[in-house]
Chains A and B, each alone.
Chain A
Amino acid sequence: DTGVSQNPRHKITKRGQNVTFRCDPISEHNRLYWYRQTLGQGPEFLTYFQNEAQLEKSRLLSDRFSAERPKGSFSTLEIQRTEQGDSAMYLCASSLGHGEVLTFGAGSRLTVL
């Protein structure tokens, strides 16, 4: 297992387009988190999953954002009708369970033109 994998690493898109990011966590990890980090800021929590169940969703996540983890393994984060303010690094992390050490992916950088 090579850790948490995120794809694509960098996505450049035009405003109004839809984008989807994928996260493959460490295989035995039950928890999967999505964060957003803008330049010079700490990561902001977006949502997390316990297996396939989405247990928490930040108010930062507008209706244009949706996340899934259909089989409790990989997860996707989709942003519809992208806006320039969506430009950020989208980070995925996984853990064995509540309160366990987090393992982060390298992130997916989104640039909206």
Chain B
Amino acid sequence: KNEVEQSPQNLTAQEGEFITINCSYSVGISALHWLQQHPGGGIVSLFMLSSGKKKHGRLIATINIQEKHSSLHITASHPRDSAVYICAVCDSNYQLIWGAGTKLIIKP
């Protein structure tokens, strides 16, 4: 079993839909990162969470430390949101452990 599990692996939605991507982890962590990677592009850090909730524009990230679970939400999704979204946790040994990513496609 992977230490960081993301779901779904692939998600296709219509423009305007509310999107949720989930991340569960099995190790103790000091922080959790949500990252975005566009096809052929670089990786952009969206959020770094250690507790609670953060919001940036149409993106919202939450984390529940007790349940070892985090979610990334996108409101009013747009085709330009199409990308791979990666959850990565920073464990107690200072290592970053990556999830497999969620490929999101937003159709106009």
CA gap between A27 and B48 in the complex, in Å: 20
Interface contact A106-B42, CB-CB below 8 Å:
yes
| Residue interface mask A70-113, B partner, CB < 8 A = 1 | 00000000000000000000010100001111111111000000
Q: How many A-B residue pairs have CB under 8 A?
A: 55
| Residue interface mask A23-67, B partner, CB < 8 A = 1 | 000000000010000000011110010100001100000000000
* Residue in chain A with minimal CB distance to B84: A42
Interface contact B96-A101, CB-CB below 8 Å:
no
Which chain A residues lie closer than 8 Å to B86 at the CB level?
42-43
Interface contact A99-B95, CB-CB below 8 Å:
no
Q: Which chain A residues have a beta carbon within 8 Å of chain B's beta carbons?
A: 33, 42-45, 48, 50, 55-56, 91, 93, 98-107
Please provide the 8 A-B residue pairs with the shortest distance between their CB atoms, ordered closest to farther. Answer: A99-B31, A104-B43, A101-B48, A99-B30, A42-B98, A102-B45, A106-B42, A42-B101
